[in-house]
Amino acid sequence: MATLDSYLDDLLARGRAYFSRDEALAALGLKPSALAAAITRSIKKRRLANPRHGFYLILRPEDQIASAPDPVKWIDPLMKHQAIDYRISLLRAAAFHGSSHQASMVFQVVVPRQLRDFDLGRHRLQFIYQGPEAFAQVNKPDLVGQMKSDAGFAKVASVELTLLDCVRYFHKAAGINGVAHIAKEIGAKANPRTLAKAAAAYENSAVRRLGYLLERAGHGRQARALEPFVKQAKTTLPLDPAVKPIVAALAQAHERNVKWKLMINETVDVAE
């Protein structure tokens, strides 16, 4: 009967560094209790890591320092194991598309289900929920690309989706000023028509904020593509909802951008 160690060696020899509990049970013919004990021993020896119940990563020597490989190497099989569609987005996607300011330690994934964040060694995975209907509208091949690693490919948001995700979930993308930097650095890469099409799945307030930031960053073509969304707006909203005025009178003192129907309650820095 094959041992767990020989099973792990065989998987690595075939270029695969992950497996599920059910796969191991079928391959080894062990009782569930015996497999669980063997897996526990391997985790203690730092040969395995367990990001989710029933799913395991095989750690090579170079992975053991961080206690797990870069999540881009295993997020795709993990999400397939859970039968959940996904896309890497926000700060990691912004860095992938060329935003030099983004060196986040968090690996952010947009999903259509509520999932708990978790830490694995030095890595933190953060799951951002997008409603299933909106997610289904945008998580398509023309808006989702591939991020390559030595272990394969993972789904990553396009430039257009990255911008929209960052402004929609700005509190998880280093705030409005963080999003302003991202818009400055990668906004020119966005296809205006594609951006407008994807924006239809997002809240009008987020689209207007992105339009303003793109315009401030000098990306006129991309900003103009979002101007039609302003016509749908009924109220003027703050640029940064996280900034709360001390008294109502202070809110009246803020600059109002009529074009985007925004109250500019935060100065954004888009300088080089």
The closest of 6, 4, 19, 15 to 150, measured between CA atoms, is 15
Per the domain annotation, does 272 fall within a domain? no
Helix (H) or strand (E) holding 152: strand 152-157
Q: What band does 271 get if pLDDT is binned at 50, 70 and 90? A: low
**Which of 30, 51, 66 marks a domain boundary?**
66
| pLDDT tens profile 209-257 | 999 999 999 999 999 999 999 999 989 999 998 886 644 445 555 688 9
Task: State whether 246 and 120 are in the same domain.
Answer: yes
Structural domains counted in the chain: 2
**Is residue 217, in this structure, part of any structural domain at all?**
yes
Chain CA centroid to CA 170, Å: 12
Same domain, 157 and 249: yes
- Out of 21, 38, 66, pick the residue that ends a domain: 66
User: Do 97 and 47 share a structural domain?
Assistant: no
Report the run of H or E that residue 108 belongs to, with start and end: strand 106-111
pTM, entire model: 0.91
Task: Say whether 16 sits in a helix, a strand or coil.
Answer: coil
Closest CA to 45 of 32, 23, 64, 30: 64
Identity of the amino acid at 133: E
Containing structural domain, residue 39: 4-66
Query: For residues 155 and 109, is the Cβ–Cβ distance under 8 A?
Result: no
> Is the C-alpha dihedral spanning 53, 59, 128, 132 positive or negative?
negative
Mutual orientation of helices 159-168 and 175-186 as an angle, nearest 10°? 170
Q: Are residues 108 and 237 in the same domain?
A: yes
Q: Are 217 and 179 in contact (CB under 8 A)?
A: no
For residues 200 and 218, membership in a common domain is answered with yes
Q: Which of 35, 50, 66 delimits the end of a domain?
A: 66
Residues 197 and 222 in one domain: yes
Do 91 and 122 belong together in one domain? yes
Contact 216, 241 (CB under 8 A): no
pLDDT in tens, 113-150: 999 999 998 899 999 999 999 999 999 999 999 998 77
- Give the containing element (helix H, strand E) for 215: helix 204-216
Residue in 181, 17, 4 with CA at minimum distance from that of residue 99: 181
